[in-house]
Structure 1
Amino acid sequence: MLKKAFFSNSSGILCSRIFGFFRDVYMASSLGAGVYSDIFFIAFKLPNLFRRIFGEGAFTQSFLPSFIHARYKGMFALSIGGIFCFCLLFLSLVVFYFSPFFTKLLAFGFPQETIDLAAPIVSINFWYLLLVFIVTFLSTLLQYKNVFWVNAYNTALLNIAMILALTFSQDRDKLEVVYMLSYGVLCGGIAQILLHLYPLYRHGFLRLFWLSMLHCKVFQTTLNKKNKFKSDFKDFFKQFFPALLGSSTAQLIAFIETFIASFLSFGSISYLYYANRIFQLPLALFAIAISTALFPMVAKAIKASQEQKALEAMKKAFWFLCITLCACTLGGIMLSKEIIWLLYQRGSFSAQDTLITSQVFALYLIGLLPFGLSRIFSLWLYSHRLQGRAAKYSLISLICGTFFSFVLIKPLGVLGLALSSSIAGFILLILNAYALGAKNFFCIILHKNAAILLVGILICETALLYGIKLLLEGYIL
């Protein structure tokens, strides 16, 4: 089951990232790395941040265990979904009417004329937040039935919509391209929702929702059922708010990096974006894919008091990630310049842009293994419904990463932001490993082929040393 779920996730993610690669190449060629690309990335940053937090973290990791334990699943799901949709709709309207204020918060270092250009684009892109929540909510329900392909493949529709928008806006002014791209984001979100409808019908969720709405009045008049429902409802929100912070360290660090980079020269935000996009490929293809497949299994095993079964599943995922992510780290750092040149250097994307982006990419890759393994270790906390502890560790990592960002930005410029992200990843890994306890930790890492672990550590150390070597040889802005 784990292998099947992993391959469903990884193949879907790979498909999505291929389309995402073509989208980014198209964007780099059309917009380059300058003020207009920075405007779009700023506008798309906040909804994309919440997409990653909802889709790859907080909502799924708190909703799924609560849904498994819920006594009245239909009413529980409808209530949670309705509350979130209402809140996000209200928030989107606030951003729409006060877009200059929120744009200033996102890019405080931008001059006022650039803020004025970006404000309407920020308000357009923010509507995607409501759409992506609906997508995540429906995908999480399907994961309960071990249906992973919809969640894995739906992001490809977003990338396809953005590619079509870029195609239709060829030979237009760069600002018009940014507007077309923003409307493409909304069309992609609607297509993602539509993809879920048939699987939901096939697995009985549409019928479940309909019956739950029909029996809503009866449900409200039954005191015993009402009290049990309130207990499940409160329990979810107790888990969700800590999980909101606990599962989003890498995304929040990237968001803070973008804010700080707005004080640097134009193009810095774009360098971070293009480098982070490639960094996210192995992270999504391996770490996110296997943790998404593993989470329902670990949560159900722990609910059934089968902790040894959960640890065995985590052990397989740990060793798989150790080998694959170490290989990706070493290969990516060694070939960082060639990768960026091959993917992006064309049109408005210059050789100087390639050099800087490759340096940022190499420093991001140092944190690939720790961020990947943290996703596996954190499943133990989320399955035990210890989201508060996960949030505490995430907050410590986030504070440390932000501190190093301010320390390193002066000597290293945009490179310091990428290096601080990797440092935060190592801190998060150490804290999550500590949370497992010594017995569980060694149960996961001990293996008959323990020499492979040593090789993995040596590869990781080599990559780290090579990344530092890049800086010492003059790869500093």
Structure 2
Amino acid sequence: MNIIKPLFRVSGMTLISRLLGFIRDILIAATFGAGTIADSFFIALKFPNIFRRIMAEGALSMSFIPMFSKKLPNKNEAKVFFREIFNFLFWSLLIVVSIFEILMPFFVYIIAPGFSQDPKKIDLVADLARISFPYLFFISLITLLCGVLNSLGKYLLAASMPIFVNISMIIALLYVQTMEMHNTANASLLLMLSFLISGLFQLILCIYGCKKYGFFPKINFPRVSDNVRKFMILSFPAIGAGGIIQINILIGSIIASYEDKAVSYLYYADRIYQLPLAMIGISIGIVLLPELSREISAKNQKNINLIQEKSLEISLLLAIPAAFGLIFLSQEIIMVLFERAFFTFTDTLATSRALIIFALGLPAFVCVKIFQIMFFSREDTRSPMIFAAISVFANIIISIVLFQYLGYLGIAISTTISSWINLYLLYRESLNKRYFIYSAKLLYRVIKIVLASIIMVLILYMLQTNSVILKFSDRSIVNFLILLCYVFIGIVFYGLMCHILKIIELKSFFKYIR
């Protein structure tokens, strides 16, 4: 079973989406900077995004795909199951969204208690959140439809969905720039509306895609069938387990709201490390869950072990050098992407410090995703839920303690530490339950990957200190090109070191992805 080809296709779409996301964030930074409007916008954006990642991308995907994959050999049975779950979600989401719309100011106080001293800030967040939250309705149904497509081996449409969000928001931001509405409440409201409209467009596309393969959703009055009951039983534990990173970020936002600009610093740093996380962890997750579910259903132990080990190996092969690169070039990355207009040099330094800390947790964030899938594909959602609860508790305690001494950096540190705790617990339990078999060969390769990454950074350091050409200046376009050069040189030397250390054979690698 070759998961590398679909993985690179999904990663390619993810890269396009994230690059557009960076353009969007550059425009947001230039339009709003790091201040009251930006903090309000980012907090309001967290409402649908956190629920999306916990419920839609976490519980829904992890529960639906293994069950749907088992029913696929009988298409009529799979179709009935899909429509039952679609109807259940459709009506449940309508109720949830309606409750939040009515009680939004109350929920704003919970999510951002530090804003309570400024009534205007609270009102703006509530207005923005009322626009953004219905996106949860769209994206949850989109995730279900994408789960159908992924289970059928049709990955590209699902992977391309975020592209449309970014395009819609970029158009809105360019309009704001043209109308000179910089750093205003009206600009933030318009931007949030573009975010919501993109959700409706994505849903229409996904419905068309599923109809093409014979899975057209029909809206009926929902009934709680055996399928729905089992789906709910699997989903509730997965809500805690699948969204551990998002729960940590939510806790960080609540605490960060007590420090001026902290929400913005953490948001911009989070956006940077989310690129490798999405390209590696999330992309592998999209491909791994349906593939692994099929092999487990077929009881093919040899393929199960091979897929799991290869997934971890590929993840660490990419995540470890990415972490080293983010740490080494943290200040330069933030400067090139965000430092302009309302985003100052002081903001760059503050954000780069948070990025360094998040980067230290990148391998853990990626591996947590893969180990969770090992459990979910076996319909074991209870164990990850328990470990998620433990790591969230650790995150709360560490955040509260460190915030008093280190401010927003304490939040970044606690998020990283809690993710490593979660990874350790998942790894230990996967060995105990024989979901994962320890491999000395994998450990040996990880050591060589770390060595290759260190050599890559040393080469970049020598270039930075000795090269006259690769010096950053006060010209944005020149700095962008220099940053691209550093990234390209780093990738080339890392690839060569992997070849020299026999971590990968370049000829075999390119044969796999053709």
The answer, yes or no, to whether TM exceeds 0.5 is: yes
CA deviations 1:299-328 (Å, max 9, x no partner) are: 111112123311111111111111211101
> Which of 249, 252, 270 is the aligned partner of 2:244?
249
| C-alpha spacing 1:36/1:461, structure 2 compared with 1 (3 Å) | same
Which residue number corresponds to residue 444 of structure 2? 451
1:422 to 410, 416, 423: 416
User: Does residue 271 of structure 2 align to residue 277 of structure 1?
Assistant: yes
Q: Distance in 2 between matches of 1:128 and 1:233?
A: 23
Structure 2 distance, partners of 1:84, 1:231, is 15
The amino acid that maps onto 1:27 is: I
1:92 aligns with 2:102: no
Matches within 5 A, 1:57-456: 57-70=58-71, 72-110=77-115, 111=117, 112-170=119-177, 171-172=180-181, 174-206=184-216, 209=217, 230-265=225-260, 267-437=261-431, 440=434, 443=437, 445-447=439-441, 451-456=444-449
Shift of residue 459 of structure 1?
7.7
Deviation at 1:461, TM superposition (A): 10
| Alpha-carbon shift at residue 277 of structure 1 (Å) | 0.6
CA contact (8 A) 1:158 1:191 kept: no
**Is residue 6–residue 155 contact of structure 2 (8 Å, CA) maintained in 1?**
yes
CA displacement at 1:415 relative to structure 2 = 0.5
* Residues 315 and 444, structure 1, Cα contact 8 Å, conserved in 2: no
- Residues 94 and 198 of structure 1: CA distance in aligned 2, closer, same or farther (over 3 Å): closer
Whichever residue aligns with residue 391 of structure 2, its letter is: S
Deviation digits for residues 138-180 of structure 1 (CA, Å, limit 9, x no counterpart): 1111111011111111111001111111122221151111000
Conserved? CA contact 2:237–2:382, under 8 Å:
yes
The worse-fitting range, judged by mean Cα deviation, of 407-416 and 55-64 is 55-64
Counterpart Cα distance in 2 of 1:461 and 1:420: 25
Cα–Cα, structure 1 residues 77 and 330, in superposed 2: closer, same or farther, change >3 Å?
same
Q: Measure the CA separation in 1 of the matches of 2:455 and 2:191.
A: 40
Counterpart residue identity of residue 387, structure 1: T
The alignment of Structure 1 onto Structure 2 pairs a total of residues equal to 446
Per the alignment, do residues 459 and 364 of structure 1 end up closer, same or farther by CA in structure 2, a change over 3 Å counting? farther
> Cα distance, 1:91 vs. partner?
2.1
- The C-alpha deviation readout for 1:164-216, integer Å capped at 9, x for no partner, is 1112222115111100011011111112112223321221112xx56x97xx9
List gaps (5 residues or longer) in structure 1.
Answer: 221-225, 464-477
Q: Which amino acid aligns with 1:98?
A: L
1:456 Cα deviation from its structure 2 partner: 3.8
AA at the equivalent of 2:445? I
Q: 1:106 is aligned with what amino acid? A: I
Q: How far apart, CA to CA, are the structure 2 residues paired with 1:450 and 1:268?
A: 38
Question: How far apart, in 2, do the equivalents of 1:236 and 1:191 lie?
Answer: 27
Question: What's the Cα RMSD here?
Answer: 2.3
CA contact (8 A) 1:165 1:181 kept: yes
Report the Cα distance in structure 2 between the residues aligned to 1:442 and 1:47, rounded to whole angstroms.
34
Task: Report the residue type matching 1:182 in the other structure.
Answer: M
Distance (whole Å) between structure 1 residues aligned to residue 433 and residue 32 of structure 2: 52
How has the CA–CA distance of structure 1 residues 392 and 156 changed in structure 2, closer, same or farther, with 3 Å as cutoff? same
Aligned-residue sequence identity (percent) comes to 31
Say which is worse superposed, 423-432 or 371-380, in terms of deviation: 371-380
Secondary structure of 1:205's counterpart equals: coil
Report the Cα distance in structure 1 between the residues aligned to 2:102 and 2:432, rounded to whole angstroms: 52
The residue type equivalent to 2:209 in the other structure is P
The answer to whether the 8 Å contact 1:318/1:445 transfers is no
Q: Is the 8 A contact 1:54 1:133 kept in 2?
A: yes
Query: CA 1:461 to 1:363, structure 2 compared with 1: closer, same or farther past 3 Å?
Result: farther
- Bigger shift: residues 182-191 or 304-313: 304-313
What code does the residue aligned with 2:256 have?
A
- Residue 19 of structure 1 is matched in structure 2 by 20
Opposite residue 109 of structure 2, the aligned amino acid is: K
Q: Which range is displaced more, 393-402 or 433-442?
A: 433-442
Please give the residue correspondences for 1:43-54 in structure 2 after superposition, counting only pairs within 5 Å.
43-54=44-55
Partner of 1:469: none
Given the superposition, is the C-alpha separation of residues 300 and 35 from structure 1 closer, same or farther in structure 2, using an over 3 Å criterion? Answer: same
Alpha-carbon distance change, 151 to 340 in structure 1, aligned in 2, over 3 angstroms:
same
- Any residues of structure 2 matched to 1:3-18 within 5 Å, and which? 3-18=4-19
Report the secondary structure of 1:57's partner residue.
Answer: helix
Question: What SS does structure 2 have at the residue aligned with 1:319?
Answer: helix
Give the structure 1 partner of residue 36 of structure 2.
35
Structure 2 CA distance for aligned equivalents of residues 462 and 366 of structure 1? 17
Deviation at 1:55, TM superposition (A): 4.5
Report the CA distance between 1:395 and its aligned residue: 0.8
- Aligned partners of 1:314 and 1:444 also within 8 Å: no
Q: Match of 2:142, as an amino acid?
A: V
CA drift at 1:385: 0.9
Once residues 412 and 459 of structure 1 are traced to their aligned partners in structure 2, the CA distance between those partners, rounded to angstroms, is 33
Measured against aligned partners, the alpha-carbon deviations of 1:401-438 in whole angstroms (never above 9, x if no partner) come to: 11111111111110010011110111011011112116
